Structure 1
Amino acid sequence: MIRNTITQMTAGLLAVSFMLIPAIPVSAEAGPGAAGSSHPPVQQEAGIPYRQEAFAARPAAAAYGDAGSQRAIQQNSTLSDGFLAGITSFSYKTASAVLKDSQVNQCYSPVSLYYSLALAAQAAGGSTRNQLYGLLTSPGQDASRMAAECGSLYRLMYRDNEASMIKPVSSMWLNDGSPLDANLRRMIEQQYHSDVFRMDLTHANSAAVMNRWLMDHGNQGISPGLVLSQDETMHMLDTMSYSSQWVFHFDSSKNVSGQFHPADGQAVTCEYMTDSRNCSYYHGHGFMRAVISLKENSTLILVLPDEGFTPQALLSSEERMAEMFGHIINEPYGRITLNIPKFQYGTCLELRPILEDLGVSQVFTPGQADFSGLADSPACLSGISQASGIRMDENGINAASCLVIPPLDGSLPGEASGEMILNRPFIYAVMAAPGVPALIGVCGNPSI
C-alpha cells in the first residue's frame, strides 16, 4: 500500500497513514520510572490506562558551530568498519527492495527501520534473532556489539540546534505483563534511545494512544492514522525527524517556472530553484549525480538518470544503489548549473512483505517468533510499516555507507563545469553524519 500525503517536516514514521492534527504530548523523554521502578505510574489517554516502562535517554546535543563538542562526541562514539558495512548494506538492500517498483513519488528511511529491527533483535532469540541479524549485519560482524554501536551511531547522528535537527525516536508497545529485565531496560533506554509502553493492545482506543505518541515525536502535528489488529501483542513505532539548512541558500528571486516530464508523458508545470555553484559531481553508468552540502555535515545526493534510463532501473539492486550513493574516489569538483524542482510529499509503505522476501519471516509468524528476551514474550509482530515525508525548498530540507568504488571512464575528470536539470524523474538521498542514509527517495512528479 502506498499513499501520497503532504507533510510539514520529514518524519520516518512506522505507521499506516498521515493526518495533520494538533500535537498532544503523551510521554516525556525522561520521567518517573526511568530510574528503575518496576511499577511505573499509570497514565490515562483516550479512555485507556497505560504506563511507560522505559524512557529514552536523549544525548546532549552540541550547539551549532561547537566543533569541540562534536570532536568529543566523535572520540567517544567510535564505529567499527563491520558495523558501518552492515548498516550500509542494509540501507541499499532494503531501499532497492522498497523503491525499485516506485512509479511516482516515494521516500524511505533506512536508518529508521534499522533501529526498530535492531531493537527487535535484542529482544529476540534463536532462529528469529539469527534471521534479523542476517539482514542487519555484514558477514563476520560481531553481533554482540550491536547495541553499543547503535548507541554510538545515534550520538553521532543526533542534532538539535538552529541549523539542523536529526532525531530518531523509537518505541515498543507491549501488553500488560511482568516488568522488563533491568539490564534489557537500560540497554533499550541508553543504547537504542527507545521508549517502552504497557497497555491492553486489544482495547478499542489503543491505536489512538499510539497515534498521539507518533504525533508528539513526529514534529509539526504530523500523525499517522494507525489501525491495529484485534490480536495485537507487540507493536513497534519509529520516527526519524530531519531538517537541515543549505550551506548556501538558494535565492528565491532566481526561481523559474518550467515543465517537468513524469514517466506517464503528461508534462506538468513546477517551480525550479536555480543556481550555479561549486560541488562534487560524477557521471556513472546511466546517471549523473551531484552532491550538495547541508549544514552540520549532512549532504544531499541528487541522481538524474540518463535519457533512456529510469529510476527503477537504477534502483534495481544493492550494487547499483552503492554506485549511486557510495563514496567516489577522486570525485570531480567544479561549477554546476542546477535546476531543482521544489517539492513536498509523503508516502506510506507496508514493509512486512519486503522483509519476508529478504528472509525475515519468523518475527511475523505465530508459533515460530521467539521474543524470549521479553518477560511474558509476545507471540509475534503483526506487521511493520513506514510513513515518510519530505519538503525541499530554498532554505533546505525538512524531512541523509560509504562504499569506495573507482571512477568509471565517463566520470568527466577533466571538466570544470556541468549542469543538472532535474526536469524528469530523479532519485535523491539525504546522508547524515557519519555517511548513513537518513532518507532515500524518488521524485517522479513534484506537482503532487
Structure 2
Amino acid sequence: MKPETLYENLNSVDEQLLERSETAKAPRRRPWWMGAVAAALVAVVALGAAFWPKGSPLGVEAHAIETAAYPEMAPYPDEADYVDQATGEYDNEGFNQAHDAWWESKQALLPEEGYADGLDSFFQESIPVFLGGKEGENAAYSPVNVYMALAMLAELTDGASRQQILDLLGSDSLEALRQQAQAVWRAQYQNDGATTTILASSVWLDEDISYNQETMQTLAESYYASSYQGQMGSEEYTQLLQEWLNDQTGGLLEEQAEGVELKPEDVLALATTLYYKARWADEFSPENTSPQTFHAPSGDVEVDFMHQTMEESYYRGENFGVVRKGLQNSGAMWLILPDEGTTPEQLLEQGDALEPLLAEYNWEDWETRTVHLSLPKFDVVSETDLLDGLEALGVTDVMDPAASDFSPLTSEIEGLYLSSAQHAVRVTTDEEGVEAAAYTVFSLSATSAGEMPEELDFVLDRPFLFAITSDDGLPLFVGAVNHP
C-alpha cells in the first residue's frame, strides 16, 4: 500500500475524539508533501520535549503518516520567579494566579474517579512474574507501560486471542479496555516543567502490506499512537525505531534500544514508552551523602548512601517493612526492605509485599514514625523478554500462528503471531529525585507454520524492593535492587 493512500485514510479520523480536554491539541492534518517542511515543528509541538537531550529525529518524519499531539500544561510556577530582585518583595498574587492556571490544566486532564478499578489484579499477577527468575540480580518492570502495550495489542486481535488479553487486563470488553487505557494515559500525563510523566506509543508498518484502516485509526485516536511506514528489515527503518525509543525515554535506555530490530519477516511493531522525572518532596542534602557498605548477594560493596531523618509513614508486614517517600507534585517511591535472611525474590513469591501500595490499603495499618532513612543512590537497568511471562499469565494464542487471530489488523496475511516482546527499564536516584524510563516493543511476524518503636532506623544496606507510584497510586515502576 502506498503511504499516501494510508495517510489519506487516516485523515478521516474524527478529531473530536482526540480532544481530551480544553487544553488538548488534536493532531494537525497536513498534505503529504508538507511532511518534510513541518517535521521540525511537529517534533516540538507534538512532544513538548525540551528535556530530551538529543531532540526528535528528523529522519523519522519522512516515514510519518500520523504524529500524535499531546495536551499542553501550564508550567508549574517557581516561587523564585515571583521575588523582585531589587526590593525582595514577593508577588503573592502573581504566584497564586500562575499556580491556579497550573492546577486547572492538570485537573482538566484527570478522568473520573474510579477509572483504575480492576487493574490491581493485573498488577499483582504480573509483577512477580516479570520480576521473578532474576535471583541476585537487579530487576525492574513498568506495569503501566506493559499494560498500554497489551491494550494496543488487544486492538489488533479477535476471538480467543483478544479474550485472553482482556482477561489478563481485567476488562469485560474491548470498548471498556479502550476507555480505561485512555483514562490511564490522561491520569498519568504531566509535563509542566517540574514533573514529567509521558506515555508515548507508535505503530511501525510494513510498506508492502494493506492494513485495516479502522483499526489503525483507533490506535491513533485512543492511544496517541504515531504511525510510520517503511521497509521492514532495512537498517534505516530499524534505526528510526531505535531513535524514536531514545527520544521518548530521554536517552536513558540507549544501550538497550540498540538491541531492538525490525526484521524482514515482521509485519508490524507496536512500541510504548514511559518517561518519568520528579524531585523528592523533601530532597536529600548532598552534605549528608557518604560511603557505606551495601551487602550485595555477590559480596559487600562500598556505595554512596543518602541520609535523612523525617517524619514518615511506616508499614510493618510479615518479613518486611515499608517506608513511603513522597515526590514533588507526583506520587511516591515505596522502599520495601526484607527482614534479614529474606530476599526480595522470596518476598515477591510471598505475595503480600506489594499489597500496601497496590490495594485500597487501610491507613490504620500504617504508623507515623521518626525515620532515620539511609538510601543508597542506585541506577538499576533491566531487560526482560516478556513472551514466557505472558504465556504464564494466560496469553498464549497470539504466539501460536495456528491459533492467533489478527483479523482486525489485516486480512492479507495468515499465520501472524507475536514473535518478540521486549521490555527494558531504567530507574535512577540521587539527592534531587528520581528519573526513570521504560519501553515495550511487540513485533508481529508471519509464518507458514511486633511492637513498633517510636524511632526507626531504616537502612537499605541489603537487597530491597522499590516501587514508584503515580498521584493516584498506579505502579509506574517496580524493581529489586541487589547491586546499587
Relative distance call for 1:394 and 1:221 in structure 2 (3 A) is closer
Question: Aligned ranges for residues 95-174 of structure 1 at < 5 Å?
Answer: 95-102=127-134, 103-137=136-170, 141=172, 143-174=174-205
2:241 maps to which of 210, 225, 233? 210
The residue type paired with residue 243 of structure 1 is K
- Partner residue, 1:341: 376
1:350 maps to which of 385, 388, 399? 385
8 Å CA contact 2:280–2:326 kept in 1: the answer is yes
Compute the TM-score of the two structures, normalised by the length of structure 2. 0.75
Listed one character per residue, the Cα deviations across residues 30-73 of structure 1 (whole Å, up to 9, x for unaligned) are 99x85387999699999999632332231223432645654565
1:248 aligns with 2:288: no
**Higher RCO (C-alpha 8 Å, min separation 6):** 1
1:283 aligns with 2:331: no
Q: For structure 1, which segment, 318-327 or 422-431, has the greater mean C-alpha deviation from structure 2 after superposition?
A: 318-327
Structure label with greater radius of gyration: 2
1:425 aligns with 2:425: no
- Secondary structure of the residue that 1:93 maps to in structure 2? helix
Give the Å deviation of 1:361: 1.6
Question: Aligned ranges for residues 196-235 of structure 1 at < 5 Å?
Answer: 196-220=227-251, 222-223=253-254, 224-225=257-258, 226-235=260-269
8 Å CA contact 2:330–2:470 kept in 1: the answer is yes
- Partner residue, 1:89: 121
C-alpha distance in 2 between matches for 1:53 and 1:443? 41
Root mean square deviation, CA, Å: 3.1
Listed one character per residue, the Cα deviations across residues 235-263 of structure 1 (whole Å, up to 9, x for unaligned) are 12221111100111100101121101012
- Secondary structure of the residue that 1:394 maps to in structure 2? coil
Give the Å deviation of 1:228: 3.7
Give the Å deviation of 1:411: 7.4
C-alpha distance in 1 between matches for 2:137 and 2:323? 21
C-alpha distance in 2 between matches for 1:357 and 1:171? 26
Give the Å deviation of 1:380: 2.4
8 Å CA contact 1:104–1:443 kept in 2: the answer is yes
- Partner residue, 1:392: 429
- Secondary structure of the residue that 2:219 maps to in structure 1? helix
The residue type paired with residue 463 of structure 2 is P
The residue type paired with residue 144 of structure 1 is E
8 Å CA contact 1:34–1:53 kept in 2: the answer is no
Give the Å deviation of 1:424: 0.2
- Partner residue, 2:446: none
Give the Å deviation of 1:359: 0.9
1:188 maps to which of 219, 227, 232? 219
- Partner residue, 1:313: 346
Q: For structure 1, which segment, 186-195 or 120-129, has the greater mean C-alpha deviation from structure 2 after superposition?
A: 186-195
The residue type paired with residue 289 of structure 1 is V
Relative distance call for 1:237 and 1:48 in structure 2 (3 A) is closer
Structure 1 gap ranges (5+): 1-28, 401-409
8 Å CA contact 1:233–1:380 kept in 2: the answer is no
Give the Å deviation of 1:106: 1.3
- Secondary structure of the residue that 2:418 maps to in structure 1? coil
> When the two structures are aligned, how many residues end up with a matched partner?
401
The residue type paired with residue 389 of structure 1 is R
- Secondary structure of the residue that 2:371 maps to in structure 1? strand
- Secondary structure of the residue that 2:417 maps to in structure 1? coil
- Secondary structure of the residue that 1:169 maps to in structure 2? strand
Listed one character per residue, the Cα deviations across residues 153-207 of structure 1 (whole Å, up to 9, x for unaligned) are 212211112321111112121212346535x445323431222222221334432
8 Å CA contact 1:340–1:421 kept in 2: the answer is yes
8 Å CA contact 2:116–2:184 kept in 1: the answer is no
Question: Aligned ranges for residues 20-99 of structure 1 at < 5 Å?
Answer: 35=29, 51-64=63-76, 66=99, 70=103, 73-74=106-107, 77-79=110-112, 81=114, 84-99=116-131
C-alpha distance in 1 between matches for 2:111 and 2:197? 19
C-alpha distance in 2 between matches for 1:191 and 1:64? 27
- Partner residue, 1:360: 395
Give the Å deviation of 1:393: 0.5
- Secondary structure of the residue that 1:59 maps to in structure 2? coil
1:383 aligns with 2:383: no
- Secondary structure of the residue that 1:370 maps to in structure 2? coil
Relative distance call for 1:107 and 1:40 in structure 2 (3 A) is farther
The residue type paired with residue 356 of structure 1 is E
C-alpha distance in 2 between matches for 1:30 and 1:98? 36
C-alpha distance in 2 between matches for 1:47 and 1:292? 41
Q: Which has the higher helix share?
A: 2
Q: For structure 1, which segment, 275-284 or 69-78, has the greater mean C-alpha deviation from structure 2 after superposition?
A: 69-78
- Secondary structure of the residue that 1:127 maps to in structure 2? helix
Compute the TM-score of the two structures, normalised by the length of structure 1. 0.81
2:273 maps to which of 239, 255, 261? 239
The residue type paired with residue 424 of structure 1 is R
C-alpha distance in 1 between matches for 2:168 and 2:71? 27
8 Å CA contact 1:391–1:399 kept in 2: the answer is yes
